[in-house]
């Protein structure tokens, strides 16, 4: 929550623009929130293990999110999100494909690695990452090199397979997906904030598409980096 001064008055009683909040104060607040989040939202290995193609086992990574009331679990099979208490639902997300429009290829399996509040799946030139914090769990993709086909102006696509007992709904602008329990008025989860930048920091066109009964896909114009 951010507080700002209310409308002040000039000496003659006419409205006067309020002073802008101090940038130093804002930076101090953000720094304090980051320190708190570093401990409360740290990702760690849980007590469970999961098989990896019969060649051994890997820890399941657990990301608690007390502010949003959810838990996320990361395995080689993808990400599972569930409520910490109360409601009983599950949402599973797995990145299934990546490439230029019309040339999307299945992604290689990868084990998740953790560093503080961040989890990464490294698949060659594609890095899929998640950052756990008070606002929720942020998902992003970093491209170390553009896939073949983007030199012809084709957009980049990341395809994700989703499984859940919640019902999805794509908003009118194609920028957000909400999941709600059947018959519920309010969504249990909302997936939004889709943005894309190129290596120079310029924003790129982006959007979602949804294949009924299959998976949602995000796309953007060619770029070496998609946060």
pLDDT tens-digit readout, 155-197: 888 888 888 989 988 887 777 888 899 888 899 988 888 788 7
222, containing H or E segment: none
More confident residue, 199 or 207: 199
Helix segments in the chain, DSSP class H = 23-40
Mean pLDDT of 191-213: 72
pLDDT at 52: 45
Residue 155: what pLDDT?
A: 81
Distance from C-alpha of 164 to C-alpha of 81, rounded to nearest angstrom = 10
Helical (H) or strand (E) element with 217: strand 216-220
Tens of pLDDT along 112-142? 999 999 999 999 889 999 999 999 999 999 9
The 3-state DSSP class for residue 27 equals helix
Cα 220 to Cα 227: distance, rounded to the nearest angstrom: 11
Please list, in sequence order, all residues whose beta carbon lies within 8 angstroms of the beta carbon of residue 137, skipping any fewer than 6 positions away. 63, 65, 68, 70, 72, 81, 130, 131
How far is 99 from 140, CA to CA, in rounded Å?
A: 16
Could you read off the pLDDT of 23-33 as tens digits, one per residue?
567 777 767 66
> H-helix or E-strand containing 100?
strand 91-100
Q: Where are the domains of the chain?
A: 40-226
The pLDDT confidence band at residue 220, using thresholds 50, 70 and 90, is very low
Task: Report the length, in residues, of the chain.
Answer: 227
Compute φ and ψ for 178, nearest 5 degrees: -115, 145
pLDDT for the residue numbered 11: 36
Supply 59's token pair.
């820890």
Predicted model pTM = 0.73
**2-11, 38-47, 207-216: range with lowest mean pLDDT:** 2-11
Q: Return the closest-CA partner of residue 74 out of 36, 115, 35.
A: 115
Residue 98 reports pLDDT greater than 70: yes
Q: pLDDT tens across 31-84, in order?
A: 766 666 678 899 998 865 554 444 445 679 999 999 999 999 999 989 999 999
């Amino acid at each position: 929550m951010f507080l700002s001064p209310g409308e002040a008055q000039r000496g003659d009683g006419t409205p006067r623009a309020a002073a802008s909040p101090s940038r130093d104060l804002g930076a101090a607040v953000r720094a304090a929130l980051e320190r708190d989040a570093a401990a409360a939202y740290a990702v760690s290995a849980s007590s469970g293990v999961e098989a990896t193609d019969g060649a051994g086992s890997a820890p399941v990574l657990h990301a608690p999110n007390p502010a949003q009331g959810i838990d996320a679990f990361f395995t080689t099979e993808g990400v599972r999100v569930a409520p910490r208490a109360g409601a009983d639902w599950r949402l599973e997300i797995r990145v299934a494909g990546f490439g230029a429009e019309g040339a999307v290829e299945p992604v290689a399996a990868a084990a998740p690695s953790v560093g503080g509040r961040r989890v990464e799946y490294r698949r060659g030139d594609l890095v899929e990452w998640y950052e756990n914090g008070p606002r929720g769990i942020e998902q992003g993709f970093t491209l170390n090199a553009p896939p073949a086909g983007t030199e012809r102006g084709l957009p980049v696509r990341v395809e994700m397979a989703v499984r859940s007992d919640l019902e999805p709904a794509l908003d009118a602008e194609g920028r957000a997906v909400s999941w709600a329990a059947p018959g519920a008025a309010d969504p249990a989860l909302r997936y939004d904030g889709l943005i894309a930048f190129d290596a120079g920091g310029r924003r790129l066109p982006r959007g979602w598409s949804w294949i009924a009964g299959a998976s949602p896909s995000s796309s953007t114009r060619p770029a070496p980096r998609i946060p």
